[in-house]
Amino acid sequence: MRAPDTQITRPGLRAWLNSDAPASRFQARMIQLYLGWLKLRGNPLALIGFLIIVALVLMAIFAPWLATAEPSAQDLGQRLLPPGSAGHLLGTDELGRDIWSRIVYGSRITLMIVTLVAVTAPVFGLLVGTLAGYIGGWVDEVLMRVTDIFLAFPKLILALAFVAALGAGIENAILAISLTAWPPYARIARAETLTIRNADYIAAISLQGAGALHIITRHVWPMCLSSLIVRVTLDMAGIILTAAGLGFLGLGAQPPMPEWGAMISAGRKFVLDQWWVATMPGLAIFTVSLGFNLLGDGLRDILDPKKSKS
C-alpha cells in the first residue's frame, strides 16, 4: 500500500500573518502590527527615523561597551584635543573629557527624559480630555479653561518657571516638562471623545447597563490611542529641545552629568576655535530630534484611519 502523504499543510508564519480571517484576537493584533510594519518599511524616511531611535536605545543600553573612556574622567593634559587625536574619536572638552563617551552616556539621560515624559504627560492628558469630553457640562468648562491657561504660555517659559520654583536638577526638569506637555493631549482626547460618545455602539453599550467608567476605559480610551501615539512621537523632538534648553541654562542635569544641553553650554565659549566641543552634542540633539519627527510622520500615515490604503 502507498504510504499516506505526510506533507505538513499548516501555513507558515507569513501566511498566518496574511490571513484574512484571524482565528483569535492575538492573531488579529499580530496581523495589524505586521501590516503596520510593512507600511513603515515602505516609507524610507519613516524607516530612517525608526532606525535612529533604535540606535539611540542600543547606545543607551550598551553605553559601557561603546564608550572609550569614563564620561567624567578628566585629563587636563589632553584638553581641547580635536576629533581623531590621541584615541579621542570626537575630541575632548575643556577638562580633557572624552566627548564621544559623554555623548554615549548622555543618550541614557535623553532616553530617560523622553520615556518618563511619554508615560506621564499623555496619560494625564488622556484622563483630563476624556473626562471633559464624556461628562461635559461644568466639568468640561473647568478642565478646558485650565488647559487653556497652560496653553497660553510657551512650553520653555512655563518649564523655566516651574524649575525656578522647584529648584535645578534632572528630576525637577522632568517634572516641569511633564507639567507643560499634557495640554495638547487633553485637547486631542477631548475632540476624539466628543466624536465617539455619540456613536451608535456607545449608546448600545450604555443601554446594556455599562457605566461611564467602563465605557471610558474600555471603549473611549482605545479609540484615542492612535492619535495620542502619533502626537507623542512628534512631540519627542520638542521635549528633547526643552530638556536641552534647561540643561543649557543650568537648570536641568547638573555637572558632571553628561547631558547634551549642558555640554553645549560649556562648549559655547570655544565655539570659534574649538568648534567640536559644542558642535558634537548639538549634532546628537539634531539627529535624535530628526529621527522622532520622521518616525512620527510615518506613524501618522500608518495609524490614521482616514488615510486611504493606496
Q: Tens of pLDDT along 204-213?
A: 887 777 777 8
User: How confident is the model over 5-42, as pLDDT tens digits?
Assistant: 444 344 577 777 777 777 777 777 787 788 878 888 88
**Which 8-state DSSP code applies to residue 165?**
H
Counting every residue written for the chain, the total comes to: 310
Other beta carbons less than 10 A from residue 277's beta carbon: 25
pLDDT (tens digit per residue) in 114-142 = 899 988 999 999 999 999 888 888 988 99
DSSP string, 93-153: -TTS-BHHHHHHHHHHHHHHHHHHHHTTHHHHHHHHHHHHHHH-HHHHHHHHHHHHHHHTS
Q: What is the DSSP letter of 254?
A: P
β-pair partners for 88: 85
pTM of the entire structure?
A: 0.83
Q: Which domains does the chain have, with CATH numbers?
A: 44-303 (1.10.3720.10)
Least confident of 25-29, 124-128, 273-277, 290-294: 25-29
288: CB partners within 8 A, 6+ apart: 52, 53, 56, 110, 237, 240
Beta bridge partners of 85: 88
